[in-house]
Structure 1
Amino acid sequence: MNDTKIGHDQGPCPIGRAGSLLGERWVLLILRDAMLGLRRFDEFRGHLGIADNILAGRLRRMVEAGLLVKTPYQDGNRIREEYRLTEAGADLAPVLRALADWGHRHTGGAEEAAPMRAVHVDCGGDLRPDNQCTRCGAKVGREEEAWIRPWHSPAPVRLAAPTAAAARRESATGATVVGSG
Structure 2
Amino acid sequence: MGRRSDWTGTSCPTARGADVLGEPWTLLLLRDAHAGVTRFEQFREHLGIADNVLSARLARMVETGLFTRVPYRDGGRTRAEYRLTPAGADTLPILHAIAAWGDAHTSSPAASEPMRLVHTACGHSTRPGESCDHCGAEIERSGLRLVESWLHHFDLPLAEPVG
Equivalent position of 2:140 in the other structure:
141
Are 1:25 and 2:15 an aligned pair?
A: no
Q: How far is 1:90 from its partner?
A: 0.4
Equivalent position of 1:89 in the other structure:
88
Counterpart contact for 2:61–2:67, Cα < 8 Å: yes
The whole-number CA distance in structure 1 between the counterparts of 2:98 and 2:92 is 10
Q: Secondary structure at the match of 1:119?
A: strand
Counterpart contact for 1:113–1:150, Cα < 8 Å: yes
Equivalent position of 1:176 in the other structure:
none
Equivalent position of 2:104 in the other structure:
105
Q: How far is 1:110 from its partner?
A: 9.2
Change (3 A) 1:33 1:111: closer
Are 1:79 and 2:78 an aligned pair?
A: yes
Normalised by the size of structure 2, how large is the TM-score?
Answer: 0.89
Higher Rg of the two aligned structures: 1
Q: How far is 1:40 from its partner?
A: 0.7
Change (3 A) 1:112 1:84: same
Give deviations 1:75-125, integer Å, cap 9, x for gaps: 011121111000000011111011110110011139932221111012212
The whole-number CA distance in structure 2 between the counterparts of 1:9 and 1:65 is 11
Which 10-residue stretch deviates more, 122-131 or 90-99? Answer: 122-131
- RMSD over equivalenced CA pairs, Å: 2.1
Q: Secondary structure at the match of 2:28?
A: helix
Counterpart contact for 2:112–2:150, Cα < 8 Å: yes
The whole-number CA distance in structure 1 between the counterparts of 2:49 and 2:109 is 26
Are 1:163 and 2:131 an aligned pair?
A: no
Give deviations 1:136-157, integer Å, cap 9, x for gaps: 2112121111111232477631
The whole-number CA distance in structure 1 between the counterparts of 2:158 and 2:136 is 20
Structure 1, unaligned runs of 5 or more: 1-5, 165-181
- How many residue pairs get aligned? The number is 159
Q: How far is 1:135 from its partner?
A: 3.2
Change (3 A) 1:96 1:53: same
Counterpart contact for 1:104–1:110, Cα < 8 Å: no
The whole-number CA distance in structure 2 between the counterparts of 1:93 and 1:52 is 25
The one-letter code of the counterpart of 1:79 is T
The one-letter code of the counterpart of 1:123 is C
Q: Secondary structure at the match of 2:137?
A: coil
Normalised by the size of structure 1, how large is the TM-score?
Answer: 0.80
Are 1:48 and 2:47 an aligned pair?
A: yes
Structure 2, unaligned runs of 5 or more: none
Q: Greater relative contact order (Cα 8 A, min sep 6): structure 1 or 2? A: 2
